[in-house]
Amino acid sequence: MPSVTNDNSSSSRPRNLSWLVSRRFLCLRVTGAIASGLLLSAAFPPIEWDIMGWVFLLPLLCIAPPPGAGRRALLGYVFGLAHFLPSLAWLNEIGFAAGVLLALICGLFPMFWYIIVLRIIDVLAPASPPDAPPMPPSPPVAIAGALNQCMVALSAAAVWVALEWTRGWIFTGFPWNQIGVTQWRRLTLLQLTTVTGIFGLSFLLIAFNMAFGCTIYDWYRSFRLGKPSRRLSWPLGMVVALLLPSLWIASHAPRLPAPDQTLRVLAVQGNIPQCRAFTPEQLQLCFAVYMDLTRQGVPATKPDLVVWPETAIPAPLYHEQYRTLLGELLADTQTPLLIGAVDFRRIPLTDEPDEDGERDDVRGFNSAFYIGTDGSVLDHYDKIHLVPFGEFTPFESYLPWLRDIIGMGRSLTPGREFTVLRLPNGARAGVNICFEDTFPGISRGFVIRGANVLMTLTNDAWYAESSGSRQHMLHTIFRAVEHRRPLFRSGNNSDTCLILPNGRVTDLLEDPVTGDRFIRGSRTYSIPIWNNETLGMTFYTKHGDLFAQGCVLLTLAILCGLTYHWLRQKRRLFEVVTEKPQPPSSTSDGAEPRTT
């Protein structure tokens, strides 16, 4: 008679709670990734908790990573989005959800970093013996051995720098908010950038995050074992030792003497809301604001130069009314002007005419013009690095509908020369236009060609009163320190200021009562001017991103090593699977062989 099984007997067994544990780990992992991203975002404007740059990775590092490359990639992407979505929210002011779209791209870089670092830890972490009991997953900072911890910290920092450097040029580049920017207040630490550029600070911050995470876990583990440790861990000591070069550089930096000359500049900040298509009434408002503020400021301060920001007047320089009013202004003030404006010129094409019989073409440029008191253009600089979808549409010849949707008009033409403008009182100015000052190589190009002062003419009114202008201004601090040149910044709606060669921000144009930066007004600045022989050239000016490129080479070596290790594992697994079992050996007396 067949036996009958009781279906209710399974209810007496303990319930499998693996699904609950898995869900709990999923929530913890996602929470840690979001927390790390938000902490990093909080280190930038508008919050500016710069201390978060030293600890933002801890929530992500102190939770066990998920198994599988796909889940790790997803968790790293959550970390990247949690950082870039809030820190790039100011870009949404221009429409098209631009901040969200860019964050979706930029979030890939922290994702790649997380995947690579976890793979490095997998290789360096000692494997458990086959007969060891199953253990709960450990966080990435549970790395055995001081040497392994140091190697992981340095490797993670190098990979982060390599990805930041790559983000600065791939697809025309977006070197915005490298984590080293968070330390702009630490003037002593900033001097390290004269050798390594901004990437040296990013390297220090990531290495400290990794070393600090390992140290906290070691202390916690020793406390749980009943053997509290008070010694400083080797990885943390290594990072502290890495801080010493910046202190040495700061203490041995050449002390600049009194400036040879001073350039008095009247900066005019119109604070006029930006729009895609200006009406005639808005154009007249721009004329009135900038002309009146200039006429009021020049007699009282007697400057050597008047500076207007990028596209202060939304009209090309050859606009009839613009030229007329500008000529009258120069005749009244007898002070030269440095202004940003759009210009259209005929550029020769080839010796052969085109289909219409023309031998040249009209091209548009975003330029900085140095205009003399007689109204003539003494010199100009054409912007080299244009903004994608703002000043040109990528692949517009193949996707003309994309240009029509964005509605930015005809694409501009990039300049080709790092033109240094010869201003009064011995000033040789390299003028960055808009976000060119976020690219270290552009300022370096000016200094190599003889600039003894850097300037930025920008129009951040596109982003209203968001944190975009403040984030932009912080990048200019590092251009001043990297090349040890004073930098004057002229903003359309905010953050007009002077930055000294040591990185100190002075004379910010703001409301004296409320401290509001988004104001309409003018201010006179005394820009110190030194000869190039006095200023010299920093290591970074001479050699550029040598440190970042070294991190790129190290990252490539790491990737090659990880690939070799992965292939070696696959080969061993293949050999085990395909290995034929050996037949049992027979004994002389016919007995079965003894097995152990």
Which of the residues are catalytic? 310, 383, 434
H or E segment and range at residue 261: strand 261-269
Contact 479, 488 (CB under 8 A): no
Answer left, alpha or beta for residue 245, where phi above 0 means left and psi between -120 and 50 means alpha: alpha
Residue of 489, 379, 398 whose CA lies nearest to 438? 489
CA-CA distance, 215 to 233, in Å (whole number)?
A: 6
Contact 430, 418 (CB under 8 A): yes
Q: For 52, which DSSP code? A: G
End-to-end C-alpha distance for the chain, whole angstroms? 42
- DSSP assignments along 172-194, one per residue: G------GGGGGTT-HHHHTTHH
Helix locations, 168-197, DSSP H:
187-190, 193-196
Length of the chain in terms of residues written: 596
SS3 522: strand
CA-CA distance, 368 to 380, in Å (whole number)?
A: 5
CA-CA distance, 436 to 540, in Å (whole number)?
A: 18
How is residue 452 written in tokens?
């003894």
Residue 402 CA: distances (Å) to CA of 48, 364, 396:
36, 19, 7
Residue 239 CA: distances (Å) to CA of 52, 205, 211, 246, 378:
17, 9, 7, 12, 51
Residue of 312, 339, 310, 518 whose CA lies nearest to 434? 310
Other C-beta atoms within 10 Å of 540: how many? 26
Strands 305-307 and 360-371: unpaired
H or E segment and range at residue 262: strand 261-269
Phi, psi (deg, nearest 5) at residue 343: -135, 145
SS3 529: strand
H or E segment and range at residue 559: helix 546-578
Residue of 527, 109, 458, 138 whose CA lies nearest to 305? 527
CA-CA distance, 442 to 418, in Å (whole number)?
A: 8
Residue 220 CA: distances (Å) to CA of 28, 213, 400:
19, 11, 60
CA-CA distance, 28 to 32, in Å (whole number)?
A: 6
Residue of 189, 231, 235 whose CA lies nearest to 212? 235
Residue 549 CA: distances (Å) to CA of 158, 178, 196, 244:
10, 16, 10, 22
Q: Partners of 77 in the beta sheet?
A: none
**Positive/negative CA dihedral, 30, 31, 36, 37:** positive
Q: Partners of 392 in the beta sheet?
A: 388
